[in-house]
Structure 1
Amino acid sequence: MDALNDKKAILNRLKRAEGQIRGIQNMITEEHDCVDIITQLSAVRSSIDRTMGLIMAENLQNCLANPVDDSTEQAAILQKAIDMIVKK
């Protein structure tokens, strides 16, 4: 998959999550059952986590496929990517 398709896929995931959030807002307004709301919130969180994983994986692949010439700088870039993954 190329970068343009990756970007479209990520944006589509975010738009879907945005729609889910709006749906949850409506559920709260309409006083739906707490369990149903929490279930939907959990689904959104899971969706966002997967999207973050895709973005981090793409970033890491880019770091490895296109290394910078300075090995110290490359190590710092890779460490930053690793820190993002561990922080997640």
Structure 2
Amino acid sequence: MNATAPLPEAGSAESAAETKKILNRLRRAQGQLTAVIAAVENGGDCKTVVTQLAAVSSALDKAGFTIVSSAMRRCVATPDDPDNTLTVDELEKLFLTLA
């Protein structure tokens, strides 16, 4: 797979907002994962650990979908841009990878 399309660049206001949204989701997941690790290290109860782990998974999924949907929008908006190296099939594969 030729998955080399760039992440949203900070050049436009829309791209900057998209990048900020992605980074916020990833940082949220990072904080939640830190809490999961601490809970496991400290013998936390199963329900708390699983709930936090589900939150981490959800935050990562949302970040992934945001990245792929951003690439899709960019490919549709500027189909002749040489940075748009993903085909429709490759974009679909990326979405399905997250499912």
Q: Deviations over 1:9-43 (max 9, x none)?
A: 11111111111111111111111111210111011
Q: Distance in 2 between matches of 1:87 and 1:12?
A: 22
Unaligned runs of 5+ in 1: none
Contact map agreement 2:36 2:53 (CA 8 A) in 1: yes
Q: In the alignment, which residue of structure 1 is the partner of 2:69?
A: 57
Q: Match for 1:24 among 22, 36, 39?
A: 36
- In the superposition, the TM-score normalised over structure 1's length comes to 0.84
Structure 1 stretch 50-59 or stretch 78-87: which is displaced more? Answer: 78-87
Bigger RCO of structures 1 and 2 (CA < 8 A, at least 6 apart): 2
Where do residues 1-88 of structure 1 align in structure 2 (5 Å cutoff)?
A: 2-68=14-80, 77-88=87-98
Looking at secondary structure, tell me which structure has more helix per residue: 1
Q: Distance in 2 between matches of 1:80 and 1:30?
A: 42
- In the superposition, the TM-score normalised over structure 2's length comes to 0.75
Q: How many residues align?
A: 83
Q: Please identify the structure whose Cα radius of gyration is greater.
A: 1
Q: Distance in 2 between matches of 1:58 and 1:14?
A: 16
Q: Distance in 1 between matches of 2:94 and 2:87?
A: 11
Q: Distance in 2 between matches of 1:31 and 1:12?
A: 28
State the Cα RMSD in Å: 1.8
The percentage of aligned residue pairs carrying the same residue is 29
Structure 1 stretches of at least 4 aligned residues deviating more than 2 Å after TM superposition: none
